Amino acid sequence: MSDKPKFAMYWAASCGGCEIAVLNIHEKILDVDANFDVVFWPVAMDAKYKDVEAMDDGSILLTLFNGGIRNDENEKMAKLMRRKSKILVSFGSCACEGCIPGLANFSNVDEIIDTAFHTLTTDNGSEFKLQTHYSVPEGEIHIPTLLPRLKTLDQVVKVDYYMPGCPPESHQIAAVIDLVIQVLQGKATLPPPGATIGVGNSTVCDECKRARNEKKIKYFTRIQLTHPDPALCLLEQGIPCNGPATRSGCGALCPAAGAQCIGCYGPAEGVMDYGSRLISSFASVIDGNTPQEIEKVIDGIPDPAGQFYRFSLAGSLLRGSKTVKSN
């Protein structure tokens, strides 16, 4: 083992996009290799849980942890990585705020499993019952147990830094790796603990090229039902774009491609509840003063909870809907 600082990357309940995004920093990967001793990175190399367990606590300098905490194994792993790592980075939307899988917190686990095993094409004998510990003739085999709701990493362990995005943009990842390397060489200092890194200071509008005016929303429409002016703010054209509330850093890719921002970079600095910011700002500029007028405009948003908490439900103040049972 070299005496280079140790680096680890781990995924819990994630789609793997974060890993791809890291691979997409191309040449930069070699810098990682040059400056770090990569001790644990399931996708890229072989290493075993036991090896990590064997390491001294805090012996890994930097761990990028992506994926939400969906089952008991994710949770165990999160605690292990926390113990072993000096700096634990909550990497990607899933770990930071739950991301799309966090929408599962609108339902409880029973409903989720029940739905998945009662689709049109599923043929399940009425007696069918999923079992995490199952006895086969040869012995017992087991699969992990889903938690009552998907948790963000920082709801399970203390996190040192947050790096949002679905996935984080590769140029941001590269920048962060550069920073860490500079810190190692004493050329830079780490941001304050708890900081959000690899992002801009503002929100997506800051990077969006579209022209903007004072807002007065007379109606909300949907992207497929209109041909919006490509040069003008989408929100002003009634398309519920989450850009105003969403952390900058992506380069406003979606609005640039004619699509509304869906909020994958999460809330801006200091914001406690992403969805509330959107509810408040969208509502404030609705053009209507009577309940009737206002309701009519709001009817244009068919799924408010999904619209406002698309990526951040698991990390929101409410964590999920009322049906999410106790844990």
Partner 1 sequence: MSDELNLENAEERIGVYVCHCGTNIAGIVDVPEVREWAEKRLKNRGVVLARDYKFMCSSLGQELIEKDIKEHQLTRVVVAACSPHLHENTFRTACKRAELNPYLCELVSIREQVSWVHTDKQAATDKAKAVLSGGVERVRHHQPLEPLRVPIHPATLVVGGGITGIQAALEIADAGRRVYLVEREPSIGGHMSQFDKTFPTLDCSACILTPKMVSAGMHPNITLMTWSEVTNVSGYVGNFVVTIKQKARCVKTDLCTGCGICQEKCPKKVIDEVYEAGLGYRKAVYTPFPQAVPKFPVIDIPNCTYFQKGTCKACEKFCPTNAIDFNQKDEEITVEVGNIVLATGFDLFDPRRIPHYGYGRLANVFTNLEFERLTNAAGPTNGNIVLRDGKTTPKVVGIIHCVGSRDRNYNNYCSAICCMQSLKFAHIVKERTGATVYNFYIDMRTAAKAYDEFYQRVLEEGTLFVRGRVAEVTDAARLPGEEGKLIIQVEDTLVGKQRRIPVDMVVLSAGLQSRHDSKEVAKLFGISCSADAWFIEKHPKLDPVSTMTDGVFIAGCCTGPKDIPNSVSQGSAAAARVLTYIDRGEITLEPVRASINETQCSGCRICNNLCPFNAILFHADRMVSEVNAALCQGCGTCVAACPAGAISGTGFSNEQIMSQIEGLLLLNLNGARTQEKEMAFA
Partner 2 sequence: MTDQFEPVIIGFTCNWCSYRAADLAGTARVKYAPNVRLIRMMCSGRLDPTFVMKAISGGADGVLITGCHPGECHYIEQNYKALRRFILLKRTLTQMGIEPGRIKLVWASAAEGVRLATEITKMVEEVRALGPLNWDHHNGHQPLAISHQPEEVAA
Partner 3 sequence: MQRLTIDPITRLEGHGKIEIFLDEEGNVANTYFQIPELRGFERFCVGRPVEEMPLLTNRICGVCPEAHHMAAAKAADAVYHVDPPPAAKKLRELLYSGFYFTDHTTHFYALGGPDFIMGPDAPVAERNILGVIHKVGLEIGGKVIQARKYGHTIVEMIGGRKVHPCTSIPGGLTKGITEEQRKEIEQMGRWGIEFAQFSIDLFNKIVLGNKAYVDLIIGDIYTHHTYYMGLMDEKNKVNFYDGKVRVVDPDGKEFVKYAPKDYAAHIAEHVEPWTYLKFPYLKNVGWKGFVDGKDSGVYCATPLSRLNAADGMATPLAQEEYEKFYSTLGGKPVHQRLATHWARLIELLYAAERIVELATDPEITSPNFHTIPTEKPTEGVGIVEAPRGTLTHHYWTDERGVLTKVNLIVGTTNNYAPMSMSIKKAAEAFIKKGVVVNEGILNRVEMAFRPYDPCFGCATHSLPGQMPLQLTIRNAKGEVVEVVKRD
- The whole-angstrom separation of Cα 93 and Cα 91 is 7
Of positions 9, 13, 181, 245, contacts partner 1 by CB under 8 A: 245
Could you say which of partner 2, partner 1, partner 3, none residue 327 binds, taking C-beta under 5 to 8 angstroms by partner kind? partner 2
User: Is the CB of 117 or the CB of 285 nearer to partner 3?
Assistant: 117
d(C-alpha 109, C-alpha 95), whole Å: 19
Q: 113 vs 183, which CB is nearer to partner 3?
A: 113
Give residues with Cβ within 8 angstroms of 72, minimum separation 6: 144, 145, 147
Q: Does 236 participate in binding partner 2 (rule CB under 8 A)?
A: no
Q: Which does 215 bind (CB under 5 to 8 A by kind): partner 1, partner 2, partner 3, none?
A: partner 1
Residue 278 in contact with partner 1, rule: CB under 8 A? yes
Q: What does each C-alpha distance from 118 to 112, 122, 256, 277 come to in angstroms?
A: 10, 6, 40, 37
Type and span of the H or E element at 147: strand 146-151
| Residue that has been written with the tokens 């009662």 in this structure | 118
> Judged by CB under 8 A, does residue 24 bind partner 2?
no
| Under rule CB under 8 A, residue 158 binds partner 2 | yes
- Min dist. Cβ of residue 293 to partner 3 (A): 20
The reply on whether position 277 binds partner 1 by CB under 8 A is yes
Per-position x/- string for 174-213, each x denoting binding to partner 1 as judged by CB under 8 A, each - no binding: --------------------xxx----xxxxxx-----xx
Choose between 75 and 169: whose C-beta lies nearer to partner 2.
75
Instruction: Please report where in the chains the tokens 């003063």 appear, as a residue.
Output: 289
3-state secondary structure of 135: strand
Residue nearer to partner 1 on the CB measure, 190 or 285: 285
How many chain residues interact with partner 2 (CB under 8 A)?
A: 46
What is the pattern of x (binds partner 1, CB under 8 A) and - over residues 69-98? ---------------------------xx-
Using alpha carbons only, how large is the chain's radius of gyration in Å?
22
Closest listed residue to residue 64, CA positions, set 83, 89, 37:
89
Judged by beta carbon distances under 5 to 8 A according to partner kind, the member of partner 3, partner 1, partner 2, none in contact with residue 248 is partner 1
Region from 184-192, 243-251, 257-265, 282-290 binding partner 2, contact rule CB under 8 A: 282-290
Assess 195 for contact with partner 2 (CB under 8 A): no
What distance, in Å, lies between the first and last C-alpha atoms of the chain? 41
Using rule CB under 8 A, residue 159 touches partner 2: yes
Question: What DSSP character marks residue 223?
Answer: G
Q: Which long-range contacts (CB under 8 A, 24 or more apart) does 275-284 make?
A: 275/305, 275/308, 275/309, 275/312, 275/313, 275/316, 276/308, 276/317, 277/245, 278/242, 278/244, 278/245, 278/307, 278/308, 279/304, 279/308, 281/244, 281/245, 282/217, 282/235, 282/240
Using CB under 8 A, which of 87, 197, 245, 286 touches partner 2? 286
One of 2, 214, 257, 326 touching partner 1 (CB under 8 A): 214
Q: Across the strands, what pairs with 71?
A: 146
Select from partner 1, partner 2, partner 3, none the partner in contact with residue 112, using the beta carbon and a kind-dependent cut-off of 5 to 8 Å. Answer: partner 3
Q: Which of 10, 91, 282, 311 binds partner 2 (CB under 8 A)?
A: 282
- The vertex-233 CA angle with 232 and 234, nearest 5°, equals 110
Chain residues that interact with partner 2, rule: CB under 8 A: 106, 149, 151, 154-159, 194, 272-273, 275-277, 279-280, 282-284, 286, 288-289, 291, 294-295, 298, 301, 303-306, 308, 315-327
